[in-house]
A and B are shown apart, each in its own frame.
Chain A
């Protein structure tokens, strides 16, 4: 069974934000919500590096552990999804998430949170595959179409990798050997235990 993982190769990311745009467009994510973002450290300084980050679909996911209505579930592919019909917009998953993945459309006064939205690894949600409800609430279900997440497919430098963890590691290891560098599986220690 595949275990889906994301990996961003920080030696390759050129901060073009194509992944961010592709995601936003593909899933028609609500205003003010971005499921993916690119963060640049030491911006404008020597050694500047960028990393694209979204939900990492953690093993033993912190979001899942604190959700008061228990609306998260992990698919057989290791993708962490949630049920928006159950979500009450409490914000706890955002407090717990190491990667700042959960996002909220604002609903009502004083910044009250609506139902949480986050990266689905292009795997939709609990609704029936390819149904209108699924598209409306969670965006497109590319995994069910046999495709991988669009952000990684759109990545101009193939910095962002998405797919089965073993294959992602193999591709990355080959790269590292060729460029005689040190492997940095960014965020993997935080996100994955398998």
Chain B
């Protein structure tokens, strides 16, 4: 009897000791608060704001912060700007690499397509009758924009890839002489291109609104795959895509170009860096698009170039490629007779 009671007492003692030890483990480390006291949330916040003044200072130095400088000049009062390195890495790295892939890939696809399909001939013999497709003004506008686009594209690509591609061919002196001319040409013709592009966007806005006919056209891949030629109005789905690419990316290209072209407005380096990246990316995409547009308009399709050169197309061509438009024009003409 007595043995069992001592045993249970010992068990109880052990349980209590264990509990006390456990409490001590949790509570002892908290004795630190005896000296500091428990902080309120507000006090905690104040403490967080008090950072090391020395590291604060170096943070200012690194973060493009404006100080004071007796030397006047744009951003002369800043010590280190970090975004330049980001700009360098994006420009020289992914953009240069993927840009060259994009252009190379586009050219390769067009070459393969040409070998496969060749020049897409007219399916019916020419009727000898023509209808007007582009007015003189529209053609002038188109060729002005196109000419400027080509010049700006070549000079721009030279500044972007010239160091890699052209310096090994022409040497440093030869390339530099050309690059100087390229820079000036690009800077002066840029704004002219913008005016030409904007006038084109405004003039052709209505005929480029997308509708159901275009959806069908896209579904049939514009007749490129398969035998049937899908219906199209004056402008087919592909032409409209090209229009909207120019109306969006082309406009971004022009606006960022202005930021780069006129340093006299004292824009800071960061906005210039961002503008430059947008400028290069949109330019590369539009150049790839332009290759496709030029291909289809020249060696890709019989009779397509005539429209933009003479302004008139044969009714057989019109009915093959732009059936809905051809019908409406012919109907209008016969109505007026």
Contact = CB atoms under 8 A, between A and B. Distances in A.
Interface of A: 15, 17, 20, 32, 34, 37-43, 47, 49, 51, 53, 62, 65-71, 83, 85-91, 94-100, 103, 109-113, 182, 184, 186-187, 190
B183 A39 contact: no
Given A71-B172, A111-B264, A40 B68 contact: yes
Interface in B70-100: 70-71, 73, 75-82, 84-85, 87-88, 91-92
Q: For chain B, what secondary structure do more than half of its interface residues adopt (helix, strand, loop), or is it mixed?
A: helix
Contacts of B57: 41-42, 47, 49
B163 interface: yes
B263 A111 contact: yes
Interface of B: 53-54, 57-58, 60-62, 65, 67-71, 73, 75-82, 84-85, 87-88, 91-92, 159-160, 162-163, 167, 172-173, 175-176, 179-180, 183, 187, 261-265, 269, 272-273, 276
B179 A20 contact: no
Contacts of A113: 263
Given A47-B53, A68-B159, A111-B265, 20 more contacts: A15-B70, A17-B70, A39-B67, A40-B67, A42-B60, A43-B67, A51-B61, A53-B79, A62-B88, A71-B176, A90-B159, A95-B87, A95-B276, A98-B80, A98-B84, A98-B85, A100-B76, A110-B264, A187-B79, A190-B80
B65 A41 contact: yes
Q: Which 10 A-B pairs have the closest CB atoms?
A: A111-B264, A37-B71, A111-B263, A43-B68, A86-B176, A41-B67, A96-B84, A69-B176, A88-B180, A96-B88
A38 B176 contact: no
B76 A34 contact: yes
A90 to B, nearest CB: 6
Given A88-B179, A110-B261, A20 B70 contact: yes
A108 to B, nearest CB: 9
A38 B69 CA distance: 6
B190 to A, nearest CB: 12
A62 B83 CA distance: 11
Contacts of B79: 39, 41, 51, 53, 99, 187
Contact of B77 (A39, A83, A112): A39
A94 B62 CA distance: 17
A155 to B, nearest CB: 16
A15 B69 CA distance: 9
- Candidate in B70, B85, B173 with the most chain A CB atoms within 10 angstroms: B70
Nearest to A35: B71
Contact of B183 (A83, A85, A88): A88
A41 B61 contact: yes
B202 to A, nearest CB: 26
B87 to A, nearest CB: 6
Nearest to B86: A96
Contact of A37 (B58, B69, B176, B273): B69
A70 B262 CA distance: 24
A163 B254 CA distance: 46
Contact of B176 (A66, A88, A94): A88
Contacts of A100: 75-76, 78, 81, 269
Given A37-B76, A69-B163, A190-B80, A62 B269 contact: no
Contact of A86 (B65, B84, B172, B262): B172
A85 B53 contact: no
Nearest to B85: A62
Contacts of A34: 71, 73, 76
Contacts of A71: 172, 176
A83 B179 CA distance: 14
A15 to B, nearest CB: 8
B1 to A, nearest CB: 75
Nearest to B65: A41
A112 B76 contact: no
Contacts of B85: 62, 96, 98
10 contacts: A34-B73, A37-B76, A40-B68, A42-B60, A65-B88, A68-B163, A70-B163, A70-B167, A91-B272, A99-B79
A72 to B, nearest CB: 11
B60 A41 contact: yes
A83 B177 CA distance: 13
Contact of A62 (B54, B69, B84, B272): B84
Nearest to A90: B183
A152 B265 CA distance: 35
Given A65-B88, A89-B183, A20 B68 contact: no
A190 B88 CA distance: 14
A161 B1 CA distance: 92
A28 B80 CA distance: 26
A189 B248 CA distance: 41
